[in-house]
Amino acid sequence: MFSSKARRAQEAVERLNCSEVLQTAQAWQLGQLAQLGIGSELTAITYDPVQSLLAVGTEHGRLFVFGAPGVELGWDLGMPTKIRHLVFKPGSGFLCVVDSKDTLYIFDLQRLDQGKPHRDSSLSLRSTVTCVEASASHSFLFLGCKDGTVDVFDIDRGSLAHHARIPNLWLAQEEILRRSGVPGAPSRRHIPVCTDVKSHPLDINLVAVAYEGGVSLWNLATKQCERNWEFVLPPGAPGGGNDTEESLFMERRPPVTCLAWRPDGLLFAAGHEDGTLSFSSAEDEMPIMIRTLERVDVNRATEEDLFGWSAQGQPGQRQPANREPIFRLAWSGFPQETWLSQSLAKNPLGAPAPPALPSSPHLSDEKTDLHGGTMLTVLGGLLPSDPVGVHVLELPAYAAPSAAGGKPGNLSLPAKEALRESLLHVGHHLYPTPAPPEDFIVLARNPHYGLAYDPSAILITSGRDTRCPVPSAPHASNNIEAFTFPPSNTRPPRPLRLPVALWFSGKDTCTAAQVVNISQLSHRHLLHQFDVSDEAAERLPLTGGHAFPRPRSTRRGPAPSLSDQPPRILVTSHVDLTVRFHDVSNQVLWGRKYDEVAEPRIEHEFPRPLRHLDVDVKSALADSRAGELQAARLWRERPWELEIDKVSVGEENLEVAVSLSTGDVLVWRYVESLLLRGSRSQNRLDSFAYGELGAEPGFDRVGDPHHLGSAVEGALRDLSLDQHGSIPPPAAESSAPTSPAPGRSRFGSVSHRGRASLSQQSGAFQPESDPQDHHVDLSGSPVPRPDLDGFRPLAAFKFSSPSSASGAATKSRLALSNVGFLAASNDASLLVVDLRGPEVILVDVPGAGGAAAQGKGKGKIDASPITALTWTICAIGEDHDRSPRLVVTQGSGLTRIFELANVGGGWHLSESFASVHHDSTRNAFATFVIDKAGNELLADSQNLQLALTHQASFGSHEHLDPSGAITSLWITVSPTTLACFFNLDGPKTATYEDENARFEKAALVHAHGCVALVVQSRNCALSMFSLPSLTYIARAKFDTTLHDSAGIFSLASDGDFVQHLDPLNIRLGTIRDLYRPAFPPRVIAFDPSIPIPAQTNTLSAVGSALGAWFGGKKVYTGAELDSILGGPQRPPPKNRPAPGAPPPIVTATKQAQAAKSGYSTPTQSEFVQGATDTARDIMARTNAALEQRGEYLSAIQDRLSSAANDAAKFASDTKTMAQREAAKKSISSGFSSLWKKIP
C-alpha cells in the first residue's frame, strides 16, 4: 500500500518542471553590488570646502572620498599601513596622505584610473611627521616634524623645497633659558618637537609654529622669526589644576599641543598639555589671557588656589585635577548680513508661501549671523566630572578701541582690554558623545581662514561606547557622528546622517543583515513623500562630484519582467539595539535621467537609508510597562550584555518582530504619523511637489494604507469554522493624539473570547494557566521621532527559556507571517501569537507533555531544539481545508504541523496536529512549501484569498482536489541533504546528498515565472538546484578575502543577497547579475568649473600695495609666495592632462576611418595622414610607457631609500651597541686591574 502510494507520488512529481528557464548555467551570474563600511578603524579626516568632498583614512591603509549621494571612491595605499595625516589642497583635487611609515602620497582626484585616483607623487620623508598644513592660496604643503623642523613640499611639482625648510626655531629659546639659569630648563640634548603649524588667516606669508615650550612666528619671505611666545604660569597659579604640591609653587611652562587663529588674524589660541587655553596677539609677546573651559585667568593665583586645597583629601597633600590636555582647536567666524539681506531672506520678493507640512531646512540655506562673534571649538580640557563631548565657547565680537599709542612691538592697554573683552565667552555649548571624543572636523563653506570659517556641520569621532556589547569578530569600535554647526541656545544639536559607508562603526556596528523583497504598495508606504523631502536636509552637506551607472553589455540574458525585480529592503541590526532599513531596489542603482538625451545620474546612496523607519529597542524597553521583561532588567543593569538575536519582517502588513538574547520578543507595526494624518487632505498639492512617483502620493497615503489589512481581516473572518459566530469589523481608527492604541493601523481590534490555554501537563483545558500572561502591551510607547511615519511599538512577549536565562547559548527561530501570526522558539520551546489582539495562542515548553504529545504518532517527548519555523496556507494529506498552518521542524527530524482555525471569534490551534519524521530533515534549517507550478505557498494575502475561494467551492465535489492529487510540495534543506516531499506529509520524491557540502542558508529564487532552489555552503559557494527534481544546475564561487567561511548569508527571492562576513566586511551581491550596472559606478569626483574664492578683495589688495609703498607690511599673494618658496631652481610643472580632456587624436581618426564604407585605395594625403597618426600613436604610447616607467622607478627609489635609511639606522644602532659593550669591557678590566693592585 505504502509503496504504491509513493510510486504514484513519484510519477506525478516527475512530470513537473518548475525551473525550465533557470536550468542552464547561463541563467546565473554572480556579481557584487556594493561594499558596506570602510573595513577598519577610522584614523584621519579632511574636507575640501571648494569641491564639497570628505576624505577619510583608515588603520589598514584604505582611503575613501565621499561627495554627493552615490559619489564614493575607495582605494588602498598598497600596504596595510595606518594613515596618520590627511589633508586636501582645497579646490585643486590633490589629496595629501602621510602614513605611519612617514611616506607622503599625493593623489589627484582629477585623474581617475579604473575608479581610483592617480598617484601624482610620493616621497619617503626624513623624519616623523607630527602635523600637516595646506592652503588654498599657494601650492606648498607644510610638514611639521619630530625634530622641530618644518619641511615644505611643492605639491604642484612633486618635490621638496629644501631651501624653504623652516629650521627648529625653539632651539635658540631653550638656549636662552639655559643661560638664564631658569629652573627646569631643558638639557642641551633635548630637541623641541613641532606640535602644530598654522598659517596666518590674512597674511599667508606668516606661519605660526608650535613647539613644546611655546610658539614662534616665521616670515616665509624674509626667512626670519618675527616673534616668540612663552606661556608661563607663575608660582601659585592653578593653571589646569594638574600640579602637585611640589610643582604648584614653581614656574611652569605647559607644553603647547595645538593652535588656532581667529579669522581676523588678531589673535591665536594655543592649547596646552595641562588643559589650559592661552590667547595671544600677533602684535604682542605677552598672552592676553590664559584660561580653562570653566575659568578665566588661571595664571593668576587667588587665596583659594593657595590655601583652599589643604582641606581636601589628606592634610598637606594636593590632589591633582586630572584634567585632559587640549587635543584640537577650531576658531570659526561667520559672515555678517546686512539689514536688507536679512529682510529678503525672511520674505523674498515673489516667493511662494511656505508649505504647510513641516520640513527640515537644508544646511546650504541655513546662515548664521553672530553679529561679529566667533565660536571656539575645543577638543579636550575636561575634568573627570565634566560632561563628555566637544565643547564650544561662544565669544563676542571684537570692538576695536580708538587709536592709542603704545610701545613699538607691543599693544596699547586699550587694545589689550578690547581683545580681552572679546575672549569672555557669552555662551557655552556641548556636542555630547557616547564616549570621550578623539577627533573632530568642522565642515566650512570657505577654504580660507584656517578651514573653519562659516561652517555648516561638525563631524566628531569618539571612543568605544561601554554601554554597547563588544562583538567577538573584528570591528571598528570608534563612533562617528555629525551635527549641525553652529550650536543653538534654544534647541539641542541636530544630528546629521553620514555617508552610508561610515555607518558601520562604534555603536552603529552591524551584527546581522538580511535582504527582504516587498510589494510595490508596501514600498510606496515606506517611502513617504514627506520623509523623502527630509532626506537631503538630514544628510551631511556633501555635494561634490557626480555618479553614473555603468551598464555592462557582456552580461545579458532574458530581459527581467517587473515581477522579477520587486523592491528590496536591507534590514540591519546594530549593537546599540537598533534595527535600520535601507532601500536597495534596482531603481536606486540605475538613477534617473533628467532629460531624454542626458546620461542617467545616480541621485541616492546605495543602500539608500530610510532613517524614519529606525526601530529603537531601547525606547521600548524604557517603557514602564516593559519592566517585567528580563531584557528590560538586563538593559538597566548590564546593557553591554543585551543583544538583538533575530529580526523578522512582515513584508505585506509591515510589522517587525525582534527577539533578544534573553529570549523576549518585541513587535512593532508601521503607522502614519498622527501629526501629518490630519493635514493630508489639505496638503495634497504640497505632497505632490515632493513626490517621485507617477501617481498622486496623497491618495496613496490616505486611502491605501488600510486596504491590505482590511482585506486580510475580512478573509480571516470568512475562514471562521463557527458559522453562527461572528467577528466584529475592524474598529475605526481615531486620529486624535490621545488614542489609547495608536499602533493599530494595519488591523482593527478583533474581539477574542476568553478561553483556557492548552495545558502542558495533560493536554486538557485549564483556565488557571493563561498564556496571555506572557503578553505585555506596548501600544502608545514613545518613539524618538513621532512626527514621522514609522514603526511604533505594539507588544512584547516574555519568552525567556531556562538556557537563555542562565546565559547559555540557545538556538532560536523567529517567523512573522503576512496575515498577522507570529511564531518564536527558544531551543525546544514554542510561542505562537495572534497579533490582531494581540493574543498568545500557544506556549509550548518541552518536558511536560501537552502539545508535544498530541500528534498522530505516539512516543516519547522530543526535546530537541527547533531548527525551522515556516508559515504556510495549504492543504495537507486528505484534509482539503487550506488553512494557515505552522510547520515546526526539530533537530531530531520530527516535524509538527499545526493548523490554526477561527472558532467563535478567536484563533485556536487544532487539538491534534500532524507529525512526520524523516532522517533527511534532521537539523533542517530551511523549509519551503510550493504548489505544482512552483509558487511558494506563503501565509500572505494572495494565498489567503485563494484559500477563501477554495473554501467557497466545498459544496461541489468537482472543485475538490482528487485523491492523491498534488496540492503542495515540501522542500527541506539540512546541512548535508536536500529533500522534496509530496503534499507536505507524504512520501519523499527527490533527494540530494553531499556529506562535504555543509549547507548553511537556502532560498527560493523566482525569475520568468520559474523557481529554483539556491543553497549557500560553508565552502564559499552558491549552488543552484531545479525543482522539484533537485537536479544540480550550477555553482558560483565567490571570494572571501582572508576569511575561511562565507559568513552569514541572507538571500532574497529575486537572487540578491547580503553577505555578513564580519562587522568590517559586509557585501551586497546578486546571483542574477543580468541587466545590472557594474560595480562600482562611474564617478566624476572633481569639477574644474568650480572656482576657488579669493581670500582678499580688491580694496584690501590696494591697501596692501599702498601700505608697502609707504613702508608698511606687504601682504603677499599666492603666486608671489609660490615664487618665493619655489626659489630660482624650482622644477618645471608636471605635464598633467587636463581633467575631462578628449581622447588622443589617433583614436578619433581611427574611429572616423572605421566608419567609412568601402575599400577604396587611399589617396596620397590620406596615406600621409595615416602615417602621421601612426607616428602620433607610437609617440603617445611611448610617452605613456615612459611615464609609467618613471612611476615605477619612483616607487623603487622610495623603497630603496626607505631600505637605505633602515640599514643606516641599523648600522648606527649596531655601532652604538658595540661602543657601549667595548666601554663596559674596558671599565670592567680597569676596575679588575685596580682591584688586583690593592693589597
Q: Please write the tens of the pLDDT for every residue from 742-787.
A: 333 333 333 333 333 443 333 333 344 578 888 999 988 888 888 7
Give the cell for residue 942: 494572495
Helix (H) or strand (E) holding 866: strand 866-876
- Closest Cα to residue 529, out of 673, 331, 416, 403? 673
- DSSP-assigned states of every residue in 404-425: ----TTS--HHHHHHHHHTTS-
Rounded Cα distance between 1229 and 313, Å, is 54
Phi first, then psi: what are they for 85, rounded to 5°? -135, 140
What is the dihedral angle through the alpha carbons of 1161, 1163, 1166, 1167, rounded to the nearest 10 degrees? 80
432, 387 Cβ separation under 8 angstroms: yes
| Segments of 273-350 assigned E as strands | 277-281, 287-291, 326-333
- Closest Cα to residue 971, out of 922, 1028, 1019, 1047? 1028
421, 396 Cβ separation under 8 angstroms: yes
Rounded Cα distance between 378 and 268, Å, is 13
Rounded Cα distance between 859 and 763, Å, is 15
Task: Spell out the residues 6+ positions from residue 650 whose beta carbon is closer than 8 angstroms to its own.
Answer: 656, 657, 816, 817, 818
What is the dihedral angle through the alpha carbons of 950, 951, 957, 959, rounded to the nearest 10 degrees? -10
Rounded Cα distance between 1169 and 388, Å, is 72
Rounded Cα distance between 229 and 214, Å, is 6
Give the cell for residue 70: 552615490
1176, 1183 Cβ separation under 8 angstroms: no
Residues of the chain with pLDDT under 50: 1, 313-314, 339-340, 343-362, 364, 678-708, 721-768, 850, 852-859, 1041-1042, 1097-1103, 1105-1111, 1142-1169, 1171-1172
Rounded Cα distance between 535 and 688, Å, is 16
Whether omega before 348 lies within 30 degrees of 0, making that bond cis, reads: no
Rg (CA), the chain: 36
Number of residues that make up the chain? 1239
53, 542 Cβ separation under 8 angstroms: yes
Rounded Cα distance between 788 and 784, Å, is 10
Rounded Cα distance between 213 and 256, Å, is 7
Q: Give the pLDDT confidence score for residue 705 in this predicted structure.
A: 40
* Cα 652 to chain centroid, rounded: 28
**Tens of pLDDT along 1205-1238?**
667 777 777 777 777 777 767 766 665 666 566 6
Q: Give the pLDDT confidence score for residue 759 in this predicted structure.
A: 37
Phi first, then psi: what are they for 33, rounded to 5°? -105, -35
Angle in degrees, 0-180, between the axes of helices 707-718 and 941-952, rounded to the nearest 10: 30
Rounded Cα distance between 299 and 234, Å, is 7
Q: Give the pLDDT confidence score for residue 622 in this predicted structure.
A: 93
Rounded Cα distance between 416 and 261, Å, is 17
38, 501 Cβ separation under 8 angstroms: yes
Q: Give the pLDDT confidence score for residue 685 in this predicted structure.
A: 28
* Cα 922 to chain centroid, rounded: 39
Rounded Cα distance between 962 and 969, Å, is 16
DSSP 1127: -
617, 578 Cβ separation under 8 angstroms: yes
324, 380 Cβ separation under 8 angstroms: yes
Give the cell for residue 419: 581683545
* Cα 1160 to chain centroid, rounded: 61
User: Residue 1132: is it exposed, middle or buried by C-beta count within 10 angstroms (0-12/13-18/19+)?
Assistant: exposed
Residue 301 sits at the vertex; the CA angle it makes with 299 and 303, to the nearest 5 degrees, is: 160
Task: Spell out the residues 6+ positions from residue 1150 whose beta carbon is closer than 8 angstroms to its own.
Answer: 1173
Question: pTM score > 0.85 for this model?
Answer: no
Q: How far apart are the first and last CA of the chain?
A: 117
Rounded Cα distance between 642 and 663, Å, is 11
> 3-state class of 939 per DSSP?
coil
253, 232 Cβ separation under 8 angstroms: yes
Residues forming beta bridges with residue 85, ordered by sequence position = 98
Task: Spell out the residues 6+ positions from residue 42 whose beta carbon is closer than 8 angstroms to its own.
Answer: 56, 57, 58, 59, 461, 476, 478, 480, 502, 505
